[in-house]
């Protein structure tokens, strides 16, 4: 039996195992899920051990543990470091899920569950692809090290120092990550750049108590008004960010790169319709793909203050809050952007409001040259599995740890993602295409098998 036959005959079993992994509510943003985090990590460790990996262990960090395991039997061959994460995003608003987020369900050829595509499903594909190669061939074509972390969804705060302290353990020739997506169904994609991140929370307070809007209304500041006024200074109505110097360090996009984006199969109308939008909206002068890949953003991710219940409550709220993340592109620096944002907030503080701004996570943007053989091989592997030419793209999301790996390990980073744009990463009804689960494992097998020759060239 070859690995393709193995994957085919074991598919039902693989899906059942993936469902077990998806049932763990490993939400890293909520401290109440600590035990679930540890159970998820232990589940993966056990799986890797049973696969025949050695040194399968949970390595402690100052936060959630890293699942580590290695297979080093391919003497003289390259070593691939496979990175992924076993933590997931929060699930609220829960009422918008058709089926519960931690009860995986198949509908229309899709696996619905939190983490199905981001990133448990994709991590799991590496495990099963490698198992297929091991079982059918008795060994692997390359050496493998796994680094599966539990804090990606909260900014990987503790991983950089952990990697610095364990740099030797993680030494490798290629870093392979499946945590990004494809342009669309049957459009395999190699992502060679990612945006960075800078996150803050803004808190506004006014009076020492909520106040009655009849008795005090008209004469006192309102924390929600102050917040609205402040947030209103962050963009113009076209969507341009108004923070002073926000775009100063943004690298120009070459005409060649723009032309490549234009050649991709993207249609604004299709895109708009798929998202249920009456209009797209973004920085003037750039196409949708440019806005997503090479232009920075400032998004309000959440806002709250005052009364949220049924009906009316006639209060003047004393506090109001907003959560904000910026997506950064080369050569923006998170530290610089955070400082500019803090300055802006100070300069635009409304009358009678105390404003505080707190930094949350941040990460640098990253771009890697797509001429590297480890990256070119990825395109070939996709082509073999999908039967179509793969596209080279950049990604709008952030995997801050990519930049850290690059800095610490100096190895090429290959992003082979299998998620689709409408699979609700971070939103209710996250799902993952079974077709891509199937073809993705074959793609990974092709990639692992081709790597010794590609890197020997």
Q: Can residue 10 be called a binding residue for a copy of itself (CB under 8 A)?
A: no
Strands (E), 99-139: 105-107, 110-112
Binders of a copy of itself: how many residues, by CB under 8 A?
101
> What does the buried/exposed string (b/e) look like for 440-456 if buried means 16 or more CB atoms within 10 Å of the residue's CB?
bbbbbbbbbbbbeebbe
**Contact by Cβ (8 Å): 402, 366:** yes
Q: Can residue 263 be called a binding residue for a copy of itself (CB under 8 A)?
A: no
**Given candidates 110, 128, 158, 291, which one binds a copy of itself under the rule CB under 8 A?**
291
Region from 5-13, 253-261, 348-356, 435-443 binding a copy of itself, contact rule CB under 8 A = 348-356
Distance in angstroms between the alpha carbons of the first and the last residue of the chain? 30
Nearest to 50 by CA among 24, 83, 20, 94: 20
The smaller minimum CB distance to a copy of itself, of residues 171 and 427, is found at: 427
Q: Which long-range contacts (CB under 8 A, 24 or more apart) does 32-41 make?
A: 37/64, 37/86, 37/87, 37/150, 38/64, 38/65, 40/86, 40/87, 40/150, 41/65, 41/67, 41/86, 41/148, 41/150
Closest separation in Å from C-beta 86 to a copy of itself: 17
**Given candidates 62, 107, 313, 346, which one binds a copy of itself under the rule CB under 8 A?**
313
Q: Can residue 400 be called a binding residue for a copy of itself (CB under 8 A)?
A: no
Of residues 35 through 74, those in contact with a copy of itself by CB under 8 A are none
**Contact by Cβ (8 Å): 401, 152:** yes
Closest separation in Å from C-beta 25 to a copy of itself: 14
Q: Can residue 347 be called a binding residue for a copy of itself (CB under 8 A)?
A: no
**SS3 (DSSP) at 377:** helix
**Given candidates 92, 161, 164, 248, which one binds a copy of itself under the rule CB under 8 A?**
92
Closest separation in Å from C-beta 441 to a copy of itself: 23
**Given candidates 10, 323, 339, 380, which one binds a copy of itself under the rule CB under 8 A?**
323
x/- mask, a copy of itself, residues 359-398, rule CB under 8 A, reads -xx---------------------------------xxxx
Residue found by looking up tokens 């076209």 in the block: 238
Q: Can residue 303 be called a binding residue for a copy of itself (CB under 8 A)?
A: yes
**Given candidates 305, 334, 365, 440, which one binds a copy of itself under the rule CB under 8 A?**
305
Region from 98-106, 142-150, 294-302, 435-443 binding a copy of itself, contact rule CB under 8 A = 294-302
State the Cα–Cα distance between residues 354 and 346, nearest whole angstrom. Answer: 10
State the Cα–Cα distance between residues 368 and 416, nearest whole angstrom. Answer: 13
Closest separation in Å from C-beta 311 to a copy of itself: 5
Of residues 93 through 122, those in contact with a copy of itself by CB under 8 A are 93, 96
Of residues 212 through 251, those in contact with a copy of itself by CB under 8 A are 212-222, 224-225, 227-229, 231-232, 235, 237, 239
CA atoms lying within 13 Å on the CB side of residue 355 = 27
State the Cα–Cα distance between residues 363 and 402, nearest whole angstrom. Answer: 9
Q: Can residue 421 be called a binding residue for a copy of itself (CB under 8 A)?
A: yes
Q: Can residue 191 be called a binding residue for a copy of itself (CB under 8 A)?
A: no
The smaller minimum CB distance to a copy of itself, of residues 89 and 187, is found at: 89
**Given candidates 104, 121, 160, 317, which one binds a copy of itself under the rule CB under 8 A?**
317
Region from 5-13, 35-43, 78-86, 311-319 binding a copy of itself, contact rule CB under 8 A = 311-319
Closest separation in Å from C-beta 446 to a copy of itself: 26
Residue found by looking up tokens 């990697």 in the block: 163
State the Cα–Cα distance between residues 440 and 129, nearest whole angstrom. Answer: 9
The smaller minimum CB distance to a copy of itself, of residues 280 and 388, is found at: 280
Q: Kindly state the helix (H) or strand (E) to which residue 315 belongs, with its residue range.
A: strand 315-316
> What does the buried/exposed string (b/e) look like for 135-154 if buried means 16 or more CB atoms within 10 Å of the residue's CB?
eeeeebbbbbbbbbbbbbbb
Q: Can residue 154 be called a binding residue for a copy of itself (CB under 8 A)?
A: yes
What sign does the CA torsion over 238, 240, 244, 245 have?
A: negative
Region from 131-139, 140-148, 159-167, 207-215 binding a copy of itself, contact rule CB under 8 A = 207-215
**Given candidates 327, 340, 442, 446, which one binds a copy of itself under the rule CB under 8 A?**
327
State the Cα–Cα distance between residues 299 and 380, nearest whole angstrom. Answer: 36
Q: Can residue 320 be called a binding residue for a copy of itself (CB under 8 A)?
A: yes
Beta strand 431-433 with 110-112 is: antiparallel
Closest separation in Å from C-beta 228 to a copy of itself: 5
State the Cα–Cα distance between residues 225 and 221, nearest whole angstrom. Answer: 8
The smaller minimum CB distance to a copy of itself, of residues 291 and 372, is found at: 291
Q: Can residue 26 be called a binding residue for a copy of itself (CB under 8 A)?
A: no
């Amino acid at each position: 039996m070859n690995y393709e036959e193995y994957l085919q005959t074991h598919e039902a079993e693989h899906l059942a195992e993936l469902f077990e992994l998806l049932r763990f509510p490993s939400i890293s943003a909520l401290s109440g899920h600590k035990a679930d985090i540890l159970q998820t990590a232990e589940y993966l460790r056990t799986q890797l051990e049973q696969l025949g990996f050695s040194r399968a262990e949970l390595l402690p960090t100052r936060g959630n543990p890293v699942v580590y395991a290695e297979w080093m039997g391919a003497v003289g061959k390259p070593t691939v470091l496979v990175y992924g994460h076993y933590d997931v995003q929060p699930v609220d608003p829960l009422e918008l899920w058709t089926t519960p987020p931690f009860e995986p369900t198949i509908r229309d050829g899709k696996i619905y569950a939190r983490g199905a595509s981001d990133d448990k499903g994709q991590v799991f594909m590496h495990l099963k692809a490698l198992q297929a190669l091991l079982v059918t061939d008795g060994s692997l074509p390359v050496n493998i090290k796994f680094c599966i972390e539990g804090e990606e969804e909260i900014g990987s705060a503790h991983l950089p120092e952990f990697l610095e302290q364990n740099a030797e353990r993680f030494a490798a020739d290629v870093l392979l990550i499946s945590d990004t997506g494809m342009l669309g169904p049957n459009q395999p994609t190699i992502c060679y750049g990612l945006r960075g991140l800078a996150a803050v929370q803004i808190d506004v307070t006014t009076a020492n108590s909520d106040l009655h809007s009849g008795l005090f209304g008209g004469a006192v500041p309102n924390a929600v008004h102050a917040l609205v006024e402040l947030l209103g200074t962050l963009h113009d109505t076209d969507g341009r960010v108004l923070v002073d110097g926000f775009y100063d360090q943004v690298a120009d996009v070459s005409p060649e790169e723009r032309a490549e984006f234009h050649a991709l199969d993207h249609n604004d109308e299709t895109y708009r319709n798929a998202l249920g939008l009456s209009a797209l909206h973004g920085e003037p002068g750039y196409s949708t793909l440019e806005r997503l890949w090479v232009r920075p953003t400032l998004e309000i991710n959440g806002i709250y203050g005052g009364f949220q219940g049924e009906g009316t409550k006639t209060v003047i709220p004393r506090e109001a809050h907003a959560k904000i993340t910026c997506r950064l592109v080369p050569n923006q620096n998170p530290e610089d952007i955070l400082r500019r944002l803090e300055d802006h907030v100070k300069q635009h503080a409304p009358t009678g409001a105390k404003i505080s701004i707190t930094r949350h996570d941040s990460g640098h943007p990253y771009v890697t040259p797509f001429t590297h053989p480890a990256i070119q091989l990825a395109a070939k592997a996709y082509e073999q599995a999908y039967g179509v030419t793969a596209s080279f793209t950049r990604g709008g999301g952030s995997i801050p740890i990519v930049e850290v790996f690059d800095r610490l390990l100096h190895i090429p980073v290959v992003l082979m993602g299998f998620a689709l744009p409408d699979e609700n990463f971070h939103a209710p009804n996250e799902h993952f295409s079974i077709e891509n689960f199937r073809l993705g494992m074959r793609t990974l097998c092709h990639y692992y098998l081709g790597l010794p020759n590609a890197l020997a060239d």
